[in-house]
Amino acid sequence: MKRKYSSKIFLDIAKEYEINIYYDKEDYYLIVKKFKKVIEPFITLNGNCLLDDGYFIVEIIPKNENYAIRIFLNDKKETLEYYFDITLRNGLDEESNIPYYDDLYLDITVKDNKIEILDENELQEALNNKEITKEQFDLANKTKDELVKTIKDKTNKYMNINVNKYLN
C-alpha cells in the first residue's frame, strides 16, 4: 500500500504547472492542477490523451470515504475521464498540510459512461503477499461495488460537483 500526496500526482510530467488546493469544503478536499506545459503528453495504452499543454486534473479527496477521484479535463475544460482510486484512508498531512490517500490498488475508470475495473490482480497479489489484510481486501471490493452502483445510477455526489468553476 502506498501513500499518495495530491501535490505530487502526475506532476513529474509537467514542465510548468499551477496547483490550487481548496480546504474549505465540508467533507472533501479539492485540488486543481493546470498543466501549462508538459514534458510529453500522457497517452493511455488505448490511445487516449489525458494530459497535454493546457489540460487540467481535478482531484477530489473525500474526508469520509474510501476512494479518491481524479478528473482529467482537456484545454477546453471538457471531461475526458474519471479515475477512482480505492483507498484505505484519506487525510491531510499534519506537517505539509497536503491532502493524501492510502491507495488500496483497485481502481475504476469512467469514460463515455463506460465503467472499467482496473488492477484486481494487483489487489489479489497484495493480499497473497500479505501487503494488505483480508479486511482491507474486502473493504476494497465492497467500496468498488458501492462505487460502481453510484456511478451507474448517477448518484455519486462527487462526480456531480461542477468543477469548472474552479478552473482558471
Tens-digit pLDDT profile for residues 109-132: 999 989 999 999 999 999 999 999
Q: pLDDT > 70: what percent of the chain?
A: 100
Parse the chain into domains and list their residue ranges. 2-166
Kindly compute the dihedral angle of the four CA atoms of residues 60, 166, 11, 82, in this order, to the nearest 10 degrees.
50
Structural element, H or E, at residue 56: strand 55-62
Q: Tell me the pLDDT tens digit for each residue of 74-100.
A: 999 999 999 999 999 999 999 999 999
| Residues in a beta bridge with 59 | 31, 70
The residue written with cell numbers 502526475 in the block is: 10
Contact 35, 55 (CB under 8 A): yes
Q: Within 10 Å of residue 43's Cβ, how many Cβ atoms?
A: 12
- Coil, strand, or helix at residue 119? coil
2-166 — its CATH code? 2.40.380.10
